Chains A and B, each alone.
Chain A
């Protein structure tokens, strides 16, 4: 084999090797990109709503049991409160007529309250913060289980008197009615009134 032929083979092999490297690297890079785009498990909350009625999450009507992810925008309509359970982090109670954004990760829950009232409960090891347009409204202590209740100045107060009033309205007539029927049954046949006009 001539020297020229040998050098041609060497150059060809080198070029082949270099080209293979480029394709290999590109292929690995593509796989890495795909892996980066796959969703990963992240901290999440569970939505509960009053009477299992829907509320709005990220502009979409959402039912109880939904998964809440960090960065969610939440809006409760009139008459429907909601709560989000963040598991080991704590929970957030949301009054009716409330709008907020919630961000959370390990050891932190941050609520940006736009309107309404919230009660943030954090467990030991988690720091909670509720912000309003005016700035930070309050924080919870990460060294213990803690709670924070915040309302915006323009919050619509929840309707009062509906609960206890309803009970009285329902129970009193029912029991009074039962008592009247039982009394009437017991006194049947003993007409106390004067039969002679």
Chain B
């Protein structure tokens, strides 16, 4: 009995336990179903639930701790501790996902709504913080002054005993001191006091260990409250600091601290405030000029500027948080050094005017602890190394450097390069070596140094290059930091381009060559001597027989004037040289000669012979060098005989100042002026011999649209440099052979663009000190044929290099490699350029700046970047062919206004090009000239005209869309030729009506009137573009066949029309290609003549066979008539007469306005519409079988698993999970479907159209890019319950819920029917052109209709029986509509997948 009873009791308990287990299992399954759910919104709910459960458990434990049963109380306490230690608070699960800029932007918006100015608030805060800091520092100074002098030297091994500890404020704690933090800080200090005060330690390391142990044993809640914060305190002669771990990110997920730093407090200054005596040794080495004593006031000022700027730079990085550094990629030493190098270069640019005043190098020993020695001189600032600074920064921020992890071989190459460069540097650092080489000037020094570096670098083993991880390098370019003595940049398959950092080389030179003793100043009137090496000794030269020379030179001039470039000093020089070369040449001859070219260049020939020297004034160094190169590398045929002797025939010197020149026998400036005077010609014109230099006025700030007559000397100089540099870049490519272009991959337009951009950026870097001098934007049209450029202090911006590339390909016969394997990447790029062009228009308008309240350039550039980034964020990137892109990255080069970098699954990164941005900024800030104003249309006029044109055009199209199929056939409009004739006749009639209203419109405009047709209008009339598509659509909608071809009524006429049209198109394309390079066509009149002549020629020249077999008698008026939609209406009669062309001026004007450089004007709405249409077209393409199969496979797999889960359930499990209610079961399945959609989002993203799979019997599953949808679930549920022998409790438990659901579903169905019964034309009438429009309208309609049902339908809903007490209509239909009992507002979760299916059905 006893045993029985005992067993019975245990058995019962087991039963109860197992029952509980079963229940728990049901819950686990439910949780499992929930876990698979993927909807981000639900993640928050799940987290909330988890938080609730966690706090519930903690509350339970808290209550149980008070349980009188000691065992239970102990269990509760232990459990509470475990929950706190081993699980994370829900809030801590959440990371930080917004960067500081986004947070600021959001706060700015929020404050705006609250009627406050966020920036002002921040500024006030910063000001207050600054004041507080200053007050704190002041106090610290005072405390320091009061401090006891001379603390004893600290011995790290001396026994230690502390009488007290003192906390030092830290930003991370004191800035955000809430109650919890305060409590934790107090607890830590108290704990430390108890553990170290009064105790004796053998050495400082023991103290550190004691601190670590004490803290790590503290209550977790304190450690958590301080997670991520820094703490600092002082005790005795030490300060101790440590950082509290942020558990979720730390190695073993623990809170606490990992290490303690102890720093000995240095001796305090015994005589605070006492004047510092100059240290007699502190004079600095000769040449270094670090000696502050004795340094001139000017140098001290410059030193101070350099120091302040450098400190700012270092502080900027020191102040950055670890996260910010990581975000910038600065957790990579190489990248950080590169960034610091860039900052340094910016500082150099900023201080270039000051630095230029220096005549030697000056030294800054150690600006800040952990920074290296720095020199500054006229060439810049030379920081010896950023190594210490970076090391220390990483240590402080606890950062592990990533350099070389992804790119170990690239790093190897950099090290090899720098090793070689340093070897050469070491030699050149040696004064004797330099002297030994016979180098006496700095210029020679740099030249030799550079040459030696180049030779040394060329010896780097090829294996280092071969392994470089190009694809992982930004822009596939390898470079070292700009601050290094030798900087290099290298692209794949290209040799490194080497730049000598002249700040460093100048330092080397100056240190080895200290300035000589000051010379006595020369009397003011004494002319400066020519540098010796530039002045050949006249005594050793002979004068050339004048007459022979005169004849040769005159001949040269004559020839040069005959040439096409008669204003070019180079052409003049060449011509002269050719003549001189014809003379016998054995010695050097002195030929003091000057000449003023018509452009104002002064050409001075000093001597000629084997080292002929010509001095040119007014020409930039870059241009001059180019001439030298040309002369050096391309000896003229006439010089063949003397090739050796003439290998270095010319040296060009450039100077800007007026210098006395010997009078020559040719026209000099003076003599030319005198001659002119004599002839009664008045003062010379600009550019004429003897004219005053026009460059006297400094340029006004703003945008200089073209090189003006009033350019300052500086502007002129910079212009010259930019022109030379940019031309150099383009020449580099245009001088390439076809084979070389192809070999380098430049037959791919984008590769070439990248290369151009890279080279221009390199040139830009070199030119920055010059560009920095500009206070406005200068521009140059046709800097090379077809390419325009603007330049300003921000850099260089190129426009339209595309035309130049086309021309290059054409010239060399290169077949352009199209982006066949990157078509979608190309589309993305096109979206970018289209938007960029639209933004440029907007951002160069003063009105826009005023409207947006943009006051600074920085805000301007930021806003531009933001707007472009936001837009590009919406562009579909799912189809980009990542695998076909280098480094799986799509990059748009930074040569114009902005560039982008796009990686899969990462947001697009847009970088604006400062050269381009400043161009827009300057444009917007430059008042428009009257001429410009006169060329612009008032927006009101355009709107008015557009409205009228739209009205007339719509009426015309309506006339035809309203016709029934029968009417169309009856009127003969089932022949496209006849239909287009009729429509065009209507447009011609509309022209008559509209022309008086359009006469004042100055530019051309276009807008989309329906899915297929754009309407162009200008002062010459109105033209539809895209008629063919319209007619095709019309035939399709009305189910009418086009009999001109399909029924063979006029197939030959159609063929002839098509031939004429394509001839006109081809001719137009050819002509347009020439526009970019032609300088002669500058007005519409010229363009019109050019185009009409060419088109007439080509159409009239068509082979007579074109018209063979034309069905003349079936054509209106028995003649061929091409549609008047494009270039011309061409008519041709049966007789042998030539075709007649009536040109379409409105269309040609539109073409001119679009293609022509000035006056491109397209309304933005058109661009957007066009982008949308083309996007929609691409989106409607059928999917490839591979794509479809791949997606189907995934869907099948998921759906099988999903239904298996339900099919495998036992009736008990179904009941336990409350799935014995149809509403709840469908709801649970649909929740699972959402999970499936989440998991498949990337697999489905590439689908264009909807597909279906029948993997589940009786439940066809539709899927498309937006999701997965089973149909026929109701039947399946019925069968499911039947198979499992389960009674559906829906009618018992939730009948009213079901009713509400049905009402909503019915309403939604009505809406859907309304849409699916529409035709395309109906939708077009409603302005629905594509799926986006459809979706928007559909959702709005659906919401309005369901909202209109009122809240009454929910009155009897069985809230307490519904999961989460929430009503949800099934997500099987076009929207899930939900609400809770208390919140009467309905929430809509639109089912984009289903709506897309209905759109696909329609289209």
A binds B: no
Interface residues of A (CB under 8 A from B): none
